[in-house]
């Protein structure tokens, strides 16, 4: 059988993780898992139904569509609803809760059991897949990340300015890096990629080359 590896991609908000991870997964015919979308789905569920639902997560059905982009919450396609400002502004707080992390981390580990997964998030290399064969930590300056996010938000039709987005990114970095459980931190064995001045194809190529080197070993 063809050898497969798992690829863990971590980094702060808007560092380019999902765009790159999706492209790498497509090139390698691997499954792409956006763990941020899972935390966003739980946050949407809590906004709609009240914080009490966090105690009954086992009843929650979160699935990805076959296109690797859509996400379903109890059978409903919530791919657009999880990207609203309300969800973005609450997701760091909800994702700092122990019961939420326990539930989603175990789901993520199950998905990656058979390898052939590119998973992006904040704690993939450190907590979810500490044995992943390839770990990448992507970073870029807050200003550059805010500019990238502004382009995405404009395409989505959101009325937001650069200053608000920069503040939001800095606040989310602070919450994600300083929370008690599984804070955002580079795994000691992760390759650091500063994408501030790299194009998407450049980053993609670099990761593909590292993956191919690992697949050629033994």
Identity of the residue, 92 or 195, whose beta carbon is nearer to ligand DC in the bound complex: 92
Which residues face 119 on adjacent strands? 8, 33
3-state secondary structure of 69: coil
- From the list 175, 31, 195, 58, the residue with the least C-alpha distance to 114 is 31
In this chain, which stretch among 45-53, 60-68, 121-129, 202-210 interacts with ligand DC, using CB under 6 A?
121-129
Size, binding site for ligand DC by CB under 6 A: 14
H runs (alpha helix) in 13-141: 17-28, 35-49, 85-94, 98-111
Residue 190 DSSP code:
P
Identity of the residue, 88 or 211, whose beta carbon is nearer to ligand DC in the bound complex: 88
Q: At what angle do helices 162-178 and 142-156 cross, to 10 degrees?
A: 120
Which residues touch 96 (CB under 8 Å, ≥6 apart)?
175, 179, 180, 181
Per CB under 6 A, 39 contacts ligand DC: yes
Among 9, 21, 117, 176, binds ligand DC (CB under 6 A): 176
- What whole-number distance in Å separates Cα of residue 106 and Cα of residue 6? 16
In this chain, which stretch among 54-62, 117-125, 155-163, 193-201 interacts with ligand DC, using CB under 6 A?
117-125
Site track for ligand DC across 2-31, x = CB under 6 A: -----------x------------------
In this chain, which stretch among 1-9, 49-57, 122-130, 201-209 interacts with ligand DC, using CB under 6 A?
122-130
The footprint of ligand DC (CB under 6 A) covers 13, 35-36, 39-40, 91-92, 95, 121-124, 172, 176
């Amino acid at each position: 059988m063809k050898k497969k590896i798992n690829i863990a991609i971590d980094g702060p908000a808007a560092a380019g993780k999902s765009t790159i991870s999706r492209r790498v997964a497509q090139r390698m015919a691997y499954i792409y898992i956006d763990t941020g979308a899972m935390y966003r789905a739980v946050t949407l569920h809590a906004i709609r139904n009240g914080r009490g639902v966090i105690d009954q997560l086992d009843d929650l059905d979160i699935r990805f569509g076959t296109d690797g982009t859509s996400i379903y919450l109890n059978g409903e396609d919530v791919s657009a609803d999880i990207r609203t400002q309300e969800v973005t502004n609450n997701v760091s707080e909800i994702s700092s809760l122990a019961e939420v992390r326990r539930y989603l981390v175990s789901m993520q580990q199950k998905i990656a059991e058979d390898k052939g997964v590119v998973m992006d998030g904040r704690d993939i290399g450190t907590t979810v897949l500490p044995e992943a064969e390839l770990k990448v930590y992507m970073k870029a300056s807050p200003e550059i990340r805010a500019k990238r996010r502004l382009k995405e938000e404009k395409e989505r039709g959101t009325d937001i300015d650069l200053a608000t987005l920069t503040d939001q990114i800095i606040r989310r970095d602070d919450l994600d890096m300083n929370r008690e459980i599984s804070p955002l931190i580079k795994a000691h064995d992760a390759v650091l990629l500063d994408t501030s001045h790299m194009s998407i194809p450049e980053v993609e190529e670099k990761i593909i080359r590292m993956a191919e080197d690992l697949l050629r070993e033994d």
